């Protein structure tokens, strides 16, 4: 899609080569060159004014730095093994809600829950039909999101159908959807489109206040539609075979930035930022912006107990995969070794086999905790963390205890405490010297500076010699 290009070139080398060496031939050759230049200029001006050729002149726009890998899915990907997808280093996914008012994606809920349980950041998109009721489409999108666990990423409007409308009508419909959804969610949406569609059907309408998700299938940098000058997401292929997705190939994307920057786009006006963990450590409560819960909202219970008066719990299960999951995101200001503790308030924690997964410094570890024996802070162990993000602690409800047992598993605060490196400064406050030099000496004797014994002998000999001469004179 959207990746066809054409190029125009004008070569005057043959005209230049044909100019003769004699005066008459040189004059004639010069006239031919000047005529060629004038014609070329006129053609170039015409090319510049031609819409299709103006698209061809659009420059490639590359990422500004690091990028983050993600996918987008719909019914066409069938049943997805989201654990395998997460294992393929997929950091984010966009899930289709609908293609039209009477064409709702039947896989939306299962894809949403599965991606969240696997710890993948989620967002939703709607393929837009500008000739249908705009507000009805927007409300369908909003209501679908309201029925599931909250999104991590900004909403997306997929603009690739014109519905037979004029450019002005398409732009008006797009603006109506964006304004309605942003007002309802508090988050500025992203526009997905292709360069040729936008510059043609939408007549390059100016929506540069919204991030651009550009569809351009290339291994290089994409070309983007006027008047945007940068992109947020680049969809660069639709034919990738990915572990966990067997029914079809899948669209792959790269976000122009880090995962933390992508998640920050999804915060909008309704969530605080996830603060970096200071070198000395921090407490991450389940009510903070650094904690994410996934699964069915009806499965979670909120209590006015626990650390700082709030905790969440759900029932444990013996399922192979987690249905409900809590994840504490961590971004460290400084690398180091930290003790990790979980807060469990009695009698809410009843699981005897809560299994915490810790992602730290590129390594994954597990820690088992008997929540039923805890009442306060309980240690999960000591771990080495790297500076930066993509580190977390994750707890799922699949502890192995059957749902019929109605065993509660608690999700509350985590505490991270820095453990000093033994090689840094083993005694930052050493004991005083047991035999200090008396105050006032400080290398001085009777107000005279002490000198090295080897260097004092010449001075003594000189003094003795002077005394002897004095005696002789006397």
pLDDT tens column, 380-390? 999 999 988 88
Sorting pLDDT into bands at 50, 70 and 90, what band is 258? very high
403 phi, psi to nearest 5 deg = -60, -30
Average pLDDT, the chain: 80
Query: Would you state the pLDDT for residue 274?
Result: 72
Question: Would you call the peptide bond into 463 cis, given omega within 30 degrees of 0 as the criterion?
Answer: no
Rounded distance between C-alpha atoms, residue 189 and residue 278, angstroms: 32
Query: Would you state the pLDDT for residue 421?
Result: 58
Query: Would you state the pLDDT for residue 57?
Result: 52
Residue 32 has pLDDT above 50, yes or no: no
Sorting pLDDT into bands at 50, 70 and 90, what band is 70? very high
Work out the percent of the chain whose per-residue pLDDT is above 70: 74
Residue 62 has pLDDT above 50, yes or no: yes
DSSP 3-state of 227 = coil
Query: Would you state the pLDDT for residue 436?
Result: 42
Q: Any residues with CB less than 8 A from the CB of 416 and at least 6 apart, and which? A: 277, 281, 282, 283, 284, 330, 338, 339, 340, 341
Mean pLDDT of 352-358: 96
The 354-360 sheet, strands edge to edge: 291-294, 325-332, 388-396, 354-360, 363-369
Could you tell me if 173 and 140 are in contact, meaning their C-beta atoms sit under 8 angstroms apart? no
């890998």: which residue's tokens? 69
CA-based radius of gyration for the chain: 35
Residue 100 has pLDDT above 80, yes or no: yes
Mean pLDDT of 188-196: 96
Rounded distance between C-alpha atoms, residue 303 and residue 308, angstroms: 11
DSSP 3-state of 297 = helix
Query: Would you state the pLDDT for residue 271?
Result: 52
**Boundaries of every domain in the chain:** 13-56, 68-267, 281-419
Query: Would you state the pLDDT for residue 272?
Result: 53
Sorting pLDDT into bands at 50, 70 and 90, what band is 438? very low
Query: Would you state the pLDDT for residue 149?
Result: 78
> For 1-27, what is each residue's pLDDT tens digit?
333 332 222 232 333 233 333 333 443
Query: Would you state the pLDDT for residue 103?
Result: 97
The 301-303 sheet, strands edge to edge: 301-303, 311-315, 408-411
Q: Which residue has the higher pLDDT, 275 or 430?
A: 275
Helix%, strand%, coil% for the chain, nearest 5: 30, 30, 45
Mean pLDDT of 450-474: 46
Looking at the DSSP assignment, which residues form a beta bridge with residue 235?
215, 253
Residue 395 has pLDDT above 60, yes or no: yes
Give the H or E element holding residue 402: none
Residue 45 has pLDDT above 50, yes or no: no
Query: Would you state the pLDDT for residue 115?
Result: 94
6 phi, psi to nearest 5 deg = -140, 155
Residue 167 has pLDDT above 80, yes or no: yes
Query: Would you state the pLDDT for residue 28?
Result: 45
């810790």: which residue's tokens? 358
Among the listed residues 82, 169, 177, the one whose alpha carbon sits nearest the alpha carbon of residue 136: 177
Could you tell me if 337 and 382 are in contact, meaning their C-beta atoms sit under 8 angstroms apart? yes
68-267, CATH topology level: TIM Barrel (3.20.20)
Domains 68-267 and 281-419 share a fold: no
Mean pLDDT of 44-57: 39
Q: Which CATH superfamily hosts domain 281-419?
A: Galactose-binding domain-like (2.60.120.260)
> For 239-256, what is each residue's pLDDT tens digit?
999 999 999 999 999 999
Could you tell me if 134 and 140 are in contact, meaning their C-beta atoms sit under 8 angstroms apart? no
Active site residue ranges: 72, 158, 160
Query: Would you state the pLDDT for residue 297?
Result: 67
Rounded distance between C-alpha atoms, residue 279 and residue 237, angstroms: 41
Sorting pLDDT into bands at 50, 70 and 90, what band is 158? very high
**What is the pTM for the complete model shown?**
0.54
Residue 456 has pLDDT above 60, yes or no: no
Residue 48 has pLDDT above 60, yes or no: no
Rounded distance between C-alpha atoms, residue 378 and residue 352, angstroms: 13
Q: Any residues with CB less than 8 A from the CB of 358 and at least 6 apart, and which? A: 340, 364, 365, 366, 367, 380, 381, 383, 392, 393, 394
Query: Would you state the pLDDT for residue 265?
Result: 86
Query: Would you state the pLDDT for residue 346?
Result: 94
Query: Would you state the pLDDT for residue 52?
Result: 38
The number of residues in the chain equals: 474
Tokens for 385, please give them.
């963390």
Query: Would you state the pLDDT for residue 191?
Result: 97
For every residue of 152-204, DSSP letters joined together read: SS--EEE----TT--HHHHHHHHHHHHHHHHHHHSS--EEEEEHHHHHHTTTT
Work out the percent of the chain whose per-residue pLDDT is above 90: 59
Residue 76 has pLDDT above 50, yes or no: yes
């Amino acid at each position: 899609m959207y990746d066809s290009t054409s190029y125009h070139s004008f070569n005057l080398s043959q005209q230049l080569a044909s100019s003769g060496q004699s005066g008459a031939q040189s004059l004639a050759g010069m006239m031919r060159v000047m005529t060629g230049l004038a014609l070329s200029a006129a053609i170039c001006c015409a090319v510049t004014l031609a819409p299709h050729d103006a698209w061809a002149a659009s420059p490639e726009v590359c990422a500004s730095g690091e990028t983050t890998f993600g996918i987008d899915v719909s019914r066409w990907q069938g049943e997805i093994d989201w654990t395998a997808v997460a294992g393929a280093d997929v950091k984010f996914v966009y899930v289709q809600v609908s293609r039209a008012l009477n064409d709702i994606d039947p896989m939306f809920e299962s894809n949403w829950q599965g991606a969240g349980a696997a710890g993948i950041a989620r967002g939703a998109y709607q393929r837009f039909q500008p000739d249908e009721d705009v507000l009805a489409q927007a409300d369908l999108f909003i209501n679908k999101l309201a029925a599931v666990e909250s999104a991590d990423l900004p909403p997306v409007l997929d603009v690739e159908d014109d519905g037979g409308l004029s450019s002005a009508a398409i732009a008006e419909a797009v603006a109506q959807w964006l304004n309605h959804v942003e007002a309802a969610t508090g988050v500025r949406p992203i526009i997905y489109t292709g360069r040729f569609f936008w510059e043609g059907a939408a007549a390059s309408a100016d929506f540069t206040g919204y991030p651009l998700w550009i569809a351009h299938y290339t291994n290089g940098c994409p070309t983007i539609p006027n008047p945007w000058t940068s992109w947020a997401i680049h969809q660069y292929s639709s034919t990738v075979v990915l572990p966990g997705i067997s029914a079809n190939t899948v669209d792959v994307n790269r976000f122009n930035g880090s995962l933390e920057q992508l998640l920050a786009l999804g915060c909008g006006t309704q969530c605080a930022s996830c603060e970096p963990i200071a070198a000395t450590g921090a407490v991450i409560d389940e009510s903070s912006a650094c904690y994410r819960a996934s699964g069915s909202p009806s499965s979670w219970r909120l209590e006015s107990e626990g650390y700082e008066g709030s905790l969440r719990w759900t029932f444990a299960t013996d399922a192979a995969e987690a249905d409900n999951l809590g994840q504490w995101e961590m971004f460290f200001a400084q690398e180091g070794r930290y003790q990790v503790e979980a807060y469990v308030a009695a009698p809410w924690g009843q699981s005897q086999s809560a299994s915490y997964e810790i992602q730290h410094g590129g390594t994954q570890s597990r820690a088992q905790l008997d929540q039923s024996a805890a009442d306060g802070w309980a240690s999960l162990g000591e771990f080495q963390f790297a500076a930066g993000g993509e580190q977390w602690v994750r707890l799922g409800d699949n502890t192995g205890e059957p749902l019929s047992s109605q065993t509660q598993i608690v999700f509350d605060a985590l505490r991270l405490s820095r453990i000093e490196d033994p090689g840094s400064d083993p005694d930052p406050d050493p004991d005083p010297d047991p035999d200090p030099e008396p105050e006032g000496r400080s290398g001085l004797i009777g107000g005279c500076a002490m000198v090295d014994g080897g260097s004092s002998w010449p001075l003594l000999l000189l003094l003795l010699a002077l005394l002897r001469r004095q005696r002789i004179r006397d």
